[in-house]
């Protein structure tokens, strides 16, 4: 047992449901007790879905506990098949059904005899995988199912498309800015003269999955979702995949160069250097921003980054490499894929933090007192408490992170959006700082942050007044440094003089 | 005038139980706020945690006094010892928060693996010195607000069974009373006592926000009725005394287990009344309590009439309009009865669970109201099937559907007005004073429509409805 108040990644079935409900005309039936269909609320509320979420529950109640589901699951599947005629029904296990250990495979087989559509059991163990891993597995499972089905029927299309083409893998419902990213990627592909063969799972039809082998390559924009599928397609059809997230100017260029290499190897003759150059210098504003005076002022400012692998890694690189910001630590909650994260970011930050305990993250933020945080909604709230601005860069997210306006994180427009996000976070901090310097806020008598209760040191009135003039976001650190300085030298009363002596001693 | 042909009695049906509702563990969200010195420990899985985290929204960031005891694979396969694990976590809670009570919420998982929470609790309680109350509020057995019912039923067993005799003790127990009386002379207090009619002690049950508690208490005071205590109180240490023979009355329709516990275990007499929702319900509730104590109610006619008058601008908007309750929080019967009185036509009342004994007076009032208003008696559908309901909604085209968030946006996109039902559980809806708040919620979609009516954007989906 573990005491938990907050979790970064949801339970496994959420991942499966995200995949199933991203496809068109796929229905998921959860084997779950009443109330576990909360996914529908999230999709309807957060994503503001106009359509009913294609997820229903085959309710586990006392009768099911006593006698087993018996006909219930099968009936629910065949009923849904008759009502909605979905192409595929995905039976989704939950934590409850994991422990009931009913033979869901058997139910699926029996239901398949009657159902006109396909029926499948999501092969996900609740206690071993989280939302992200489950989504990745389910997507692979569905793709494999339809590729094999087509192969058996001899309907698998042969050969590649005439022009270079791509499958974009991993765009899903409730994903962080996924819809906007998808539009941006399609636009980028169009600019590069690459046809989009399929986009999965969002908006895709399962019947289209058999077309996937016709693409020249697969693009997997997010680390968490789609890699297993891309590897499967590579193993089956030798389709190469590009898994460089085009987030930030440098990474977008790297992604495009990789695409160039991959399609030239298959006989295309393209040179994207001119395009990259044009976009970087004149279309995206991010490169120019890095050179501008605004960004100069950010040099050496401290930031921390926390999120999923994709976004935290990309943001860390952007902050450090493209803006000269000092990333004190970068962290991820994708513990199962921590090695990749470490390898990606270690040269761009002082320290790497792998944890899914929000308390540990909160403490790490309080310890380093950065000028800005880039994290999830949880870090935003930590920031609120500590008076540090925060830009939200990854799930878990709230309804305000599903903007209606066009806000991709990927591609060249994405670089512009991220620049705004980063700069706005820091300016807020700077404004706050200026207000404090000119006494715009009420003078705070008590220093609430980072105070050590058992301090035997005494701040004199003028010392304290001087300390309060120091901008909020560095005050705690100055206070601690001064106290350390005083303690080391056996000074009991800290006056203005001591404060500045300490400052000089540290050379800050 | 003769009333058109209509069924003589209410029509009850039961469907498949395939409906959307909140998991009953959601009751921790409002109960931890109500019972200020409590700590709620939900013993369940990531699924439960994910639900609470998302359903409670921003509350989660306010360092709530609730946490998950998240079960891991070792707990499920009994490689870890339940008792030792719970002890470790409860000691941590004691150290960090020092609550007066820890409430264990049993979930589906603890039911299935048969964790003996009721057996473990007394042992651990004596070992760590904090009361542990067990409530099995799980999705296998209960829906949404019934979670509160299971918690209060468990709390009912913790209420002291004897009023302390010594005056000093009484003062300590009744800290609020002491505060209220602060600075008053003894005679004044005695005079205050005399404002009440002499009647057997009355304890009310149901968790309501403190302002509503005050309003209802004062409402009864006007009739000379003294509320001796309230289950739950603001603090666990202030749970009311419940002696054999006390009278109890419920304020919410979903408290049938609590009522049963109070009657059977604590030997109380239950006053079966309609619930104080809407001015008609509040009046019927007070009248019933008065009648039990042999009091003739005073001034209720004027009070009710005055409230109705102040509601007229809202009632005008909904008079003659129709409403469909999909059902998810058990407030449906009382709300429907109030809305019929407002002049609405109710097509269907979906409800998760219908206790015809506990809600008897409310059902009778619904029937009476329908007859008086000359509208057909609604169909009451227990354990509804949301898919079937949506088909019926398409046929009936009601002016308003009261439903959960899972269906609200999709129905709106199809030109059907909805009101999110969960808001009724969190808004203040009890008593005369709050009748306007109910109508504020009910009329909101209609008022919104009045603002947008000329735009012609009512159906915003391309294809046929799919669930």
Residues linked to residue A32 through DSSP beta bridges, in sequence order: A59
pTM exceeds cut of 0.95? no
Catalytic residue, candidates A75, A191, A294, A420: A294
Copy the structure tokens of residue A41.
């609320």
Exposure string of A117-149, with b = 16+ CB inside 10 Å and e = fewer, is bbbbbbebebbebbbbbbbbbbbbbbbbbbbee
**Do the Cβ atoms of A52 and B49 come within 8 Å?**
no
Please enumerate in sequence order all residues whose Cβ is within 8 A of that of B103, keeping only pairs 6 or more positions apart, or say none: B28, B31, B38, B39, B40, B41, B132, B133, B134, B135, B151, B154
B 390-429 residues with CB < 8 A to A:
390, 404-410, 413
**Which residues of chain A does B80 touch, with a Cβ-Cβ cutoff of 8 Å?**
1
Alpha-carbon span A176 to A46, nearest angstrom: 11
User: How many Å apart are CA A137 and CA A224, to the nearest integer?
Assistant: 10
**Buried-exposed string A207-240: b where 16+ CB fall within 10 A, e elsewhere:** ebbbbbbbbbbbbbbbbbbbbbbbebbeebbebb
Across the interface, do A59 and B61 touch by the CB < 8 Å criterion? no
Distance between start and end Cα atoms, chain B:
44
Which DSSP symbol is given to A130?
B
Mean pLDDT computed over every residue of chain A: 90
Cα separations in angstroms, B42 against A38, B68, B102, B117: 17, 5, 10, 12
Angle between helices A309-317 and A249-264 (to 10 degrees): 110
Q: 3-state class of B41 per DSSP?
A: strand
Dihedral sign (CA B307, B308, B309, B311): positive
User: If you ran DSSP here, which 8-state letter would residue B236 be given?
Assistant: G
Using CB atoms, pick whichever of B54, B109, B460 lies closest to residue A95. Answer: B109
What the block records as the tokens of B216 is: 């209802």
Do A42 and A173 meet the contact criterion of CB atoms below 8 Å apart? Answer: no
Are the beta carbons of B316 and B342 closer than 8 angstroms? Answer: no
Q: Cα separations (Å) of A342 from A308, A321, A391, B65? A: 13, 16, 22, 35
Distance (Å) from the C-alpha of residue B132 to the closest C-alpha of chain A?
Answer: 17
B112 in contact with A, Cβ within 8 Å: yes
> Would you state the structure tokens that stand for residue A234, as one six-digit string?
């590579």
Chain B: residue nearest A129 by CA?
A: B46
Short-list A79, A65, A71, CA closest to A27: A79
Q: B108 in contact with A at a CB cutoff of 8 Å?
A: yes
Closest partner residue to B45 (CB to CB) among A11, A53, A60 is A11
Q: Nearest CA to A54 among A42, A40, A41?
A: A40
The answer, for B78 touching chain A at a CB cutoff of 8 Å, is: no
Residues in chain B closer than 8 A to A127 (CB atoms): 72-73, 76
- State which residue of chain A sits closest to B64, comparing Cα positions: A5
Nearest to B391 by CA among B139, B7, B9, B15: B15
pLDDT tens per residue, chain B (467 residues)? 444 455 568 899 999 999 999 999 999 989 999 999 999 999 999 999 999 888 877 666 667 889 999 998 888 888 889 999 999 999 999 999 999 999 999 999 999 999 999 999 999 999 999 999 999 999 999 999 999 999 999 999 999 988 776 544 444 445 555 555 555 555 555 666 678 899 999 999 999 999 999 999 999 999 999 999 999 999 999 999 999 999 999 999 999 999 999 999 999 999 999 999 999 999 999 999 999 999 999 999 999 999 999 999 999 999 999 999 999 999 999 999 999 999 999 999 999 999 999 999 999 999 999 999 999 999 999 999 999 999 999 999 999 999 988 999 999 999 999 999 999 998 999 999 999 999 999 999 989 888 887 787 778 887 655 55
Measure in Å the smallest separation between the Cα of B357 and chain A Cα atoms. 23
Q: Do B112 and A53 touch (CB under 8 A)?
A: no
Given an 8 Å threshold on Cβ–Cβ distance, is B406 in contact with A37?
Answer: yes
* Shortest Cα–Cα distance, A56 to chain B (Å): 8
pLDDT given for residue A27 in this prediction: 97
**Residues facing B345 on adjacent strands:** B322
Q: What string of DSSP letters covers A275-338?
A: HHHHIIIII-SHHHHHHSHHHHTTTT-EEEEEESHHHHHHHHHIIIIIH--EEEEEEES-GGGH
Residues B336, B349: Cα–Cα separation, whole Å: 7
- pLDDT confidence of residue A6: 85
Backbone φ and ψ for A484, nearest 5 degrees, come out as: -65, -45
pLDDT at A491 over 60: yes
Residues of A in contact with B108 (CB under 8 A): 33, 60, 95-96
In chain A, the N- to C-terminal Cα span, in Å, equals: 46
Round to whole Å and give the CA distance between B420 and A314. 39
Mutation pick from A31, A41, A63 vs chain B, by most beta carbons of B within 10 Å, is A41
- How many Cα neighbours within 13 Å face the side chain of A58? 29
ipTM confidence: 0.88
CB contact under 8 A, A1 and B390: no
Contact between chains at A96 and B60 (C-beta distance less than 8 A): no
Closest-CA distance of chain B to residue A81, Å: 12
Residues of chain B in contact with residue A57, where contact means CB-CB under 8 angstroms, are 18
Q: What residues contact residue B460 under an 8 Å CB cut-off, 6+ apart?
A: A50, B413, B414
Closest CA to A210 of A268, A266, A167, A165: A167
User: What are residue A48's phi and psi, to 5 degrees?
Assistant: 45, 50
Radius of gyration of chain A (CA): 27
Phi, psi of A366 (to 5 degrees): -60, -35
CB A212 within 8 A of CB A161: no
pLDDT value for A451:
42
Q: Does B113 touch chain A (CB under 8 A)?
A: yes
The residue in chain A having the minimum alpha-carbon distance to the alpha carbon of residue B76 is A99
Q: Which residues of A touch B59 (CB under 8 A)?
A: none
Task: Please tell me the predicted confidence (pLDDT) of residue B281.
Answer: 97
| Six token digits for residue A246 | 């085009």
If phi > 0 it is left, if psi is from -120 to 50 it is alpha, else beta; for residue A254 that is alpha
Chain A nearest-CA residue for B41: A3
Q: How would residue A29 be classed by pLDDT, with cut points 50, 70 and 90?
A: very high
Q: How many beta-carbon pairs under 8 angstroms link A with B?
A: 170
CA dist A255 → A219, A246, A247, A248, A346 (Å): 9, 6, 9, 10, 20
Query: Chain B residues with CB inside 8 Å of A11's CB?
Result: 45-47, 50
Task: At B301, list the tokens.
Answer: 């006619």
The dihedral of CA B14, B20, B22, B24: what is its sign? positive
Which helix (H) or strand (E) covers residue B48, if one does? helix B46-55
Q: Which residues of A fall within a CB distance of 8 Å from B112? A: 65, 96, 99-100
**Inter-chain residue contact B387 with A56, CB threshold 8 Å:** yes
Q: Which residue of A has its CA nearest to B72?
A: A1
Widest CA span of chain B, in angstroms?
Answer: 75
Mean pLDDT of A341-347: 96
A110 pLDDT above the threshold of 60: yes
Helix, coil or strand: residue A106: helix
Maximum CA pair distance of chain A? Answer: 86
Q: Which positions in chain A touch B138 (Cβ < 8 Å)?
A: 33
Cα B257 to Cα B262: distance, rounded to the nearest angstrom: 8
Chain A partners of B51 at a C-beta cutoff of 8 Å?
Answer: 35-36, 38
A294 catalytically annotated = yes
CB contact (8 A) between residue B64 and residue A5: yes
Concatenated DSSP letters of A387-415: T--EEE-SSS--GGGS-SS---SSHHHHH
Q: Which of residues 132-171 of B touch A (CB under 8 A)?
A: 138-144
Q: How many helices (H) and strands (E) does chain A have?
A: 22, 16
The whole-number pLDDT of residue A71 equals: 86
- Is A52 within 8 Å of B410 when comparing Cβ atoms? yes
β-pairing, B11-14 vs A302-307, is unpaired
């Amino acid at each position: 047992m573990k005491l938990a108040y907050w979790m970064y990644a949801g339970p496994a079935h959420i991942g499966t449901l995200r995949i199933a409900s991203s496809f068109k005309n796929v229905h998921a039936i959860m084997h779950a007790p009443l109330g576990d269909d909360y996914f529908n609320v999230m999709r309807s509320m957060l994503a503001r879905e106009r359509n009913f979420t294609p997820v229903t529950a085959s309710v586990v109640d006392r009768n099911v506990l006593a006698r087993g589901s018996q006909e219930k699951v099968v009936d629910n599947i065949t009923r849904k098949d008759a009502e909605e005629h979905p192409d595929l029904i995905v039976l989704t296990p939950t934590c409850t059904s994991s422990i009931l250990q009913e033979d869901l495979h058997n139910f699926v087989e029996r239901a398949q005899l009657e159902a006109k559509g396909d029926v499948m059991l999501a092969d996900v163990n609740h206690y071993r995988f989280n939302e992200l891993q489950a989504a990745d597995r389910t997507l692979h499972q569905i793709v494999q199912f339809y590729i094999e089905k087509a192969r058996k029927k001899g309907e698998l299309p042969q050969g590649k498309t005439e022009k270079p083409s791509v499958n974009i893998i991993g765009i899903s419902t409730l994903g962080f800015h996924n819809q906007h990213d998808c539009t941006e990627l399609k636009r980028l592909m169009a600019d590069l003269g690459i046809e989009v063969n399929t986009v999965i799972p969002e908006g895709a039809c399962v019947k289209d999955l058999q077309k996937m082998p016709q693409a020249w390559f697969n693009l997997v924009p997010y680390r968490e979702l789609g890699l297993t599928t891309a590897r499967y397609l590579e193993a089956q059809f030798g389709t190469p995949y590009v898994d460089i997230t085009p987030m930030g100017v440098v990474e977008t260029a790297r992604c495009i160069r990789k695409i160039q290499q991959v399609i030239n190897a298959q006989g295309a003759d393209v040179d994207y250097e001119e395009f990259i150059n044009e976009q970087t210098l004149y279309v995206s504003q991010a490169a120019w921003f890095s050179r501008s005076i605004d960004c100069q002022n950010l040099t050496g400012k401290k930031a921390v980054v926390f999120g999923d692998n994709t976004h935290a890694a990309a943001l860390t690189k952007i902050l450090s490499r493209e803006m000269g910001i000092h990333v004190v630590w970068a962290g991820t909650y994708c513990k199962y894929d921590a090695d990749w994260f470490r390898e990606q970011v270690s040269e761009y930050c002082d320290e790497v933090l792998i944890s899914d305990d929000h308390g540990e993250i909160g403490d790490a933020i309080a310890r380093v007192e950065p000028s800005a945080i880039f994290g999830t909604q949880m870090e935003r709230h930590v920031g609120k408490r500590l008076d540090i601005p925060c830009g939200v860069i990854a799930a878990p997210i709230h309804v305000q992170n599903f903007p209606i306006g066009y806000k991709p994180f990927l591609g060249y427009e994405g670089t512009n959006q991220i620049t705004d996000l980063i700069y706005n976070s820091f300016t807020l901090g700077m404004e706050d700082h200026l207000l404090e310097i000119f006494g715009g806020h009420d003078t705070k008598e008590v220093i609430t942050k980072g105070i050590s209760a058992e301090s035997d040191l005494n701040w004199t009135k003028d010392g304290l007044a001087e300390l309060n003039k120091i901008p909020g976001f560095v005050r705690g650190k100055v206070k601690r440094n001064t106290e350390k300085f005083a303690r080391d030298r056996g000074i009991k009363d800290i006056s203005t003089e001591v404060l500045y002596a300490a400052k000089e001693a540290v050379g800050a | 005038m003769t009333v058109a042909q209509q069924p003589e009695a209410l029509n009850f049906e039961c469907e498949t139980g395939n409906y959307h509702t909140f998991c009953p563990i959601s009751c921790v969200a409002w109960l931890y706020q109500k019972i200020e010195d409590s700590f709620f420990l939900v013993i369940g899985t990531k699924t439960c945690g994910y639900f609470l985290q998302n359903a409670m929204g921003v509350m989660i960031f306010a360092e709530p006094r609730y946490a998950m005891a998240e079960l891991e694979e070792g707990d499920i396969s009994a490689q870890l010892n339940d008792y030792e694990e719970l002890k470790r976590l409860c000691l941590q809670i004691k150290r960090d928060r020092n609550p007066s009570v820890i409430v264990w919420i049993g979930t589906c998982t603890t039911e299935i693996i048969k964790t003996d929470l009721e057996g473990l609790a007394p042992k651990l309680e004596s070992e760590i010195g904090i009361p542990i109350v067990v409530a099995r509020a799980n999705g296998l057995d209960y829906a949404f607000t019934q979670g509160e019912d299971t918690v209060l039923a468990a709390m009912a067993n913790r209420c002291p069974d004897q009023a302390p005799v010594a005056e000093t003790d009484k003062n300590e127990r009744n800290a609020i009373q002491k505060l209220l009386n602060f600075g008053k002379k003894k005679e004044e207090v005695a005079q205050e006592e005399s404002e009440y009619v002499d009647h057997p002690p009355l304890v009310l049950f149901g968790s309501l926000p403190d302002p509503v508690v005050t309003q209802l208490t004062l409402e009864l005071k006007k009739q000379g009725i003294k509320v001796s205590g309230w289950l739950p109180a603001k603090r666990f240490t202030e749970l009311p005394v419940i002696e054999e023979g006390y009278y109890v009355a419920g304020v919410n329709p979903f408290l049938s287990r609590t009522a049963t516990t109070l009657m059977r275990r604590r030997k109380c007499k239950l006053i079966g009344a309609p619930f104080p929702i809407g001015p008609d319900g509040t009046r019927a509730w007070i009248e019933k309590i008065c009648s039990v104590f042999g009091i003739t109610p005073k001034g209720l006619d004027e009070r009710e009439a005055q409230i109705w008058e102040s509601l007229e601008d809202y009632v005008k908007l909904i008079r003659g309009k129709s409403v469909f309750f999909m059902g998810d929080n058990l407030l449906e019967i009382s709300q429907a009865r109030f809305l019929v009185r407002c002049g609405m036509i109710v097509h269907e009342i979906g409800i998760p669970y219908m206790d015809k004994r506990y809600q008897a007076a409310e059902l009778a009032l619904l029937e009476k109201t329908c007859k008086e208003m000359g509208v057909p008696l609604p169909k009451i559908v227990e354990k509804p099937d949301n898919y079937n309901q949506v088909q019926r909604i398409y046929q009936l085209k009601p002016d308003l559907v009261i439903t959960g968030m899972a269906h609200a946006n999709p129905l709106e996109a199809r030109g059907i007005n909805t009101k999110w039902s969960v808001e009724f559980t969190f808004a203040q809806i009890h008593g005369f004073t709050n009748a306007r708040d109910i109508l504020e919620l009910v009329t909101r979609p209609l008022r919104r429509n009045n603002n947008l009516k000329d735009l012609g954007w009512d159906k915003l989906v391309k294809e046929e409805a799919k669930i």
